[in-house]
A and B are shown apart, each in its own frame.
Chain A
Amino acid sequence: MIRRVIGTAAAMTLLAGLAACGGGSGGAAATTTLTYWMFQDRTPQAGEVIEKLRTGFEQANKGVSVKIVKIPKDDYNTKLGSALASGSVPDVGVLDQPLVSRFALDGTIKEMPAGTIDEKAFYDGALTTNKVGGKLYGLPLDHTTVALFYNKALVPAPPKTWEDLKRVTAEVHQKDPKIAGMVVPKGDGYGGWMWPGFVAGAGGQMADVEQKKVLFDQPPAVEALQLWVDLLKSSPREITDSDKPFENGLAGMMISGPWDVANIKDQFPDLQLGVAPLPYKTQPAGNIGGENAVVFTKGSHAELAWKWLAYLTNSDNNTELAQALGGFPSNVAAAERDAATFGPDQAAFLEQLKVAQARPAVPQWIQINDEIIAPALESALSGKATAQQALSDAAAKTRTLLGWTG
């Protein structure tokens, strides 16, 4: 802990020094200042990468200085909301994927001018998270997904299909009743984010925004939820609700993202960790997360702002940036060129991102996820309703909320 504090302090001092140098050399010539908001760095190394990218951009664009404002992730949306309300808006900044549609529809962010980037250069899933009504409103800085983490001591070979998954889960628990087969996600906002990956694995979709149809009460979704309910039989919550059950060897498998790989290797070096793509029923699929960046309508220097975002996501810079942000490059060329630099544990995520699907682009999606879908998952998982009942009820509520009753 103390070492970490010292490390952070040292990095901050270093950064401050670098910033001062940058300001000193380019300050006099700079006439245009672009303000960029982002989440606080995950590690000191990430901060250095951002700084390097910033200097590179300023050198390539004489007379431009990029002012980077870093805000803790938990406070970001609150701060951004207050800034937008008071009019002191950044020119360009990071935006959570599900917020893009909301901000686009009320005119808070700008549509991307045609020709800024080549759409084919990006992974389709990641780019789609920036699309609202077929138009692009931002660029994916990185993208990420969840995959199956397994303990090689308990699960020798990772399951590929849902049937394998059920079998392996049962075997692990049967062998030692004190160990859960897997950590089954919960009916909370986080579980609600992962669940669509399973729905897509059965060939389903959450919603069809163009046709205004809610689809998560259809058979693929019901089967996906039933799978979770079935898995719970060999994965008692008394075991998995403990602190870090998978890491402590109390569960054979769990579902998590790339951000956990480094943590586990660091804190649980003895755990024989394996990572595999999510098991599927009919087709490989996954959910998608990550950071998008957008240009604010009330900000200035829009052209320069798009140039900055194109620079961050081009094939030269995107791998480094994505790794600093804890995700994967959304730029296909960057990802393919640098695939070897990602370790074998990361390969599963990269593989799955090719088939990852974006969340439905409706402005109320966060609320639907948290307030309607998550409780429905929970009521099926706790046995208060069948999967079909819970999802039919949730879909009906969603139709009412969205006004998609036609």
Chain B
Amino acid sequence: MATPALAEKPAVTSRPGRRPRRPVFGRRDHLIALLLIAPAIAYFVVFLLYPALAALYYSFTDWDLRTAPNWVGVSNYTDLLFDQAKYPHFWQSVKVTLQYTLIAVPLTLGTALCQALLLNTIRRGANVFRLLLFLPVVTAEAAVGAIWRWLYDPQYGLVNVALGLVGIPRQNWLNTPELVIPALAFIAAWQCGISMIIYLAGLKGIPASIREAAIIDGAGPVQRFRRIVVPMLRPTTFYLLVTGVIAALQVFGLVYVIFSGGGGRSVTGGPEQSGLTYVLHLYLFAFRYDAMGAACAMSFILFVFILVITALQFRFLRQEAS
């Protein structure tokens, strides 16, 4: 929805034959403009820029939230990356998060596209199905966690019952280290409603004339999907891929709820730390182990990593997309 609109914009403004714009802002206008954007700027500075800069500063200190921070240079960063005694599970959390991203993002996009295609085909009751498929997104995270813990229950879980019908033996989903990430990714795919809506908008944006022309030329449904739908949806897919990867790298709430088990029990990231995602690890250091300085350093490592990954995606995938 957003991407096609963005892509059209430059084409409109750079239309030839248009008179060059005169500068319309006088001093007075400047002042009014500034006043109008002041709330937004204030919000940005107070709630985003200042905390980010403060976190950058604290990442070079040993701050524990209570006592005055001491400057420690880059040692938080070097210890995180190289000191296995101090941070025994840092690299594990990186591994878990990358695996999760690699599974969850394609699974989510695939599910979202399938749902959007189905919704686009049906004539009656589309609204009802759209609502039902979107429901997981607006459900409270704590409820989602509780429900999926029941679904994945090794004794009574419906997931095992369903697999049993096709002859697959019962699994202990959330307690087998190898199965934890796929199980979490599956929940993410179930919550793909937002991607589904965006794909649906993309599908509606494909002109009917193209489809009709293809039908007249004798293209079957598979060909139409491969030659028309997939290429026409590329900008949408690119947008969802970039935002999906960013979100997956920061996954936290669901893992926290799934593995906390309630009752004030501590969260250590599932069996053998197999569900210890990067942000969960960061959270534990910030608020459980009192190492806010190290946690700030972790958040900046993640920030740089996301920046690089996103830049790479723009560099190598966008050209293809446009």
Contacts and interface: CB of A to CB of B under 8 A. Distances in A.
Given A243-B150, A370-B268, A379-B272, A106 B65 contact: no
B153 interface: yes
B99 interface: no
Contacts of B279: none
A102 B290 contact: yes
A325 interface: no
A397 B264 contact: no
Residue of A74, A77, A189, A371 contacting most chain B CB atoms (<10 Å):
A371
Contacts of B290: 81, 102
A375 B273 contact: yes
A237 to B, nearest CB: 6
Interface stretch (B4-12, B83-91, B122-130, B232-240): B83-91
Interface in B290-307: 290, 292
Contacts of A73: 264
A77 B265 contact: no
Q: Which of A85, A102, A188, A382 has the most CB of B within 10 A?
A: A188
B67 A237 contact: no
B154 A189 contact: no
A250 B66 contact: no
Interface string A376-398: 00110010000000000000010
Interface string B152-194: 0111100000000000001010110000000000000000000
A400 B85 contact: yes
A366 B65 contact: no
A238 B85 CA distance: 33
Interface stretch (B21-29, B206-214, B281-289): B281-289
A397 B66 contact: no
A261 interface: no
A401 B85 contact: yes
A57 interface: no
Which bracket fits the contact residues of A?
35 or more
Contacts of A379: 272
A239 B284 contact: no
B243 interface: no
B287 A78 contact: yes
B266 A85 contact: no
Nearest to A250: B155
A378 B272 contact: yes
Contacts of B88: 371-372, 375, 397
Contacts of A107: 67
A374 interface: yes
23 contacts: A77-B288, A81-B66, A81-B290, A82-B65, A84-B66, A85-B66, A107-B67, A187-B272, A188-B265, A237-B175, A238-B154, A238-B170, A239-B154, A239-B155, A241-B154, A241-B175, A242-B154, A242-B156, A250-B155, A366-B266, A366-B288, A378-B271, A382-B272
Interface of B: 64-67, 85-86, 88-89, 149-150, 153-156, 170, 172, 174-175, 261, 263-268, 271-273, 284, 287-290, 292
Interface of A: 73-74, 77-78, 81-82, 84-85, 102-103, 106-108, 186-190, 237-239, 241-243, 245, 250, 259, 364, 366-367, 370-372, 374-375, 378-379, 382, 397, 400-401
